[in-house]
Amino acid sequence: MGQIRIGTSGWSYPTGHGTWNGVFYPPRGKSGFKAADELAYYASRFDTVEVNSTFYRTPAPAVTRRWAAQTPPGFEFSIKLFQKFTHPGMVGRDAPLARTPAGERRPLPEPTPADLDEFRAALDPLAEAGKLGVLLIQFPAGFQSEPRSRDYLARQLEWFRDYPLAVELRHRSWSDEQHETDTLLGAAGAALVQIDEPKFRFSIRQDREPNVRSHYYVRLHGRNAAQWWTHDSPDDRYNYLYSGEELGRIAETIKRVGRSVDKTYLYLNNHYSAKAVVNATVLKQMLDVPIEGEYPEELVEMYPELRGVVRTAPHRTLVR
């Protein structure tokens, strides 16, 4: 069995109905717990995190250097590529793309050499600290397999060839041409991201088999089909708690695949009200991955699935 790392997609959800404050993290205010304490708190319980904030803006090297300093040796950050490389017309917007009508051709992104240098500079402090996991390249649902798209993807794989890569392709055309997709990604040693989310007519179809042996990359977005496209807040899409039965099937897949890959990264993106934390922790138990640290009693009261799985303490005693 290769190495398995399990974490969540992001660690900071400070506002809204789905906040982690007072749920996973101690409440702000009198407790003395601050936003700056979140990463260290998270990293004492998980050994990896997927960073989604880098999709919206490229962080300064000083920021990623601070992330490395706030986490213990061996911790790994998987970083999502800045949207200018993957989502044309989205730069500066914080809302996800609307559903792409069938057959619509979107323009390809146009990043500059300066954009490339800036993003590489942001990755350097993590790479130098030995804390860079995988660079996640996520394309929108309307990014279809056609000659111009394949050529553009090949260029991206070349631009970032110095890093472990995972590519999230979501349109069914990529699985309809599975051999061509596997050949393109395999030549660069890039893992095809395995996506768990509601499936629609044009969603990619996946058999969960690894396409490279170096690493296997899984993203669990939840299965909230009712609110996937229609919701009051984008966070509502991720308001989903996987059942024990659903997690059990996922764990069996990871066990099977883990025998043929060196390293597995599994990230939970169903972040609403720390549901990702809960499901990630239960998956750790199912996969015999050590569960570190103490968890708030309040979290276990909200999610009884954790009872007997984690050690607990009141929020006030978790503040350091």
- Average of per-residue pLDDT across 130-147: 96
| Residues belonging to the chain | 320
Instruction: Give the model confidence (pLDDT) of 163-174 as tens digits.
Output: 999 999 999 999
Nearest to 288 by CA among 4, 50, 8, 73: 4
**Token representation of residue 110:** 């146009």
Sequence-distant (≥ 6) Cβ neighbours of residue 30 within 8 angstroms: none
Distance CA 174, CA 143 (A): 9
Distance between CA atoms of 170 and 176, rounded to whole angstroms? 12
Q: How confident is the model at residue 110 (pLDDT cuts 50, 70, 90)?
A: confident
Please tell me what DSSP assigns to residue 204: P
Residue in this structure with the two tokens 């989310």, named with its chain if needed: 197
**301: Cβ contacts below 8 Å, ≥ 6 apart:** none
Q: Which two tokens stand for residue 61?
A: 């090297």
Q: What pLDDT, in 10s, does the model give residues 73-106?
A: 999 999 999 999 999 765 444 333 334 444 455 6
- In this prediction, residue 177 has a pLDDT band, given cuts at 50, 70 and 90, of very high
Listed range (34-38, 208-212, 313-317) with the worst mean pLDDT: 313-317
Q: What is the count of structural domains for the chain? A: 1
* CATH number of the domain where residue 178 is located: 3.20.20.410
Range of the domain at 148: 3-318
Residue carrying the six token digits 């300066």: 114
Cα atoms in the 13 Å half-sphere on the side-chain side of 89: 9
- The least confident of 57-61, 101-105, 204-208, 252-256 is 101-105
State what percent of residues in the chain have pLDDT above 90: 82
Overall average pLDDT of the 54-66 stretch: 97
pTM beyond 0.85, yes or no: yes
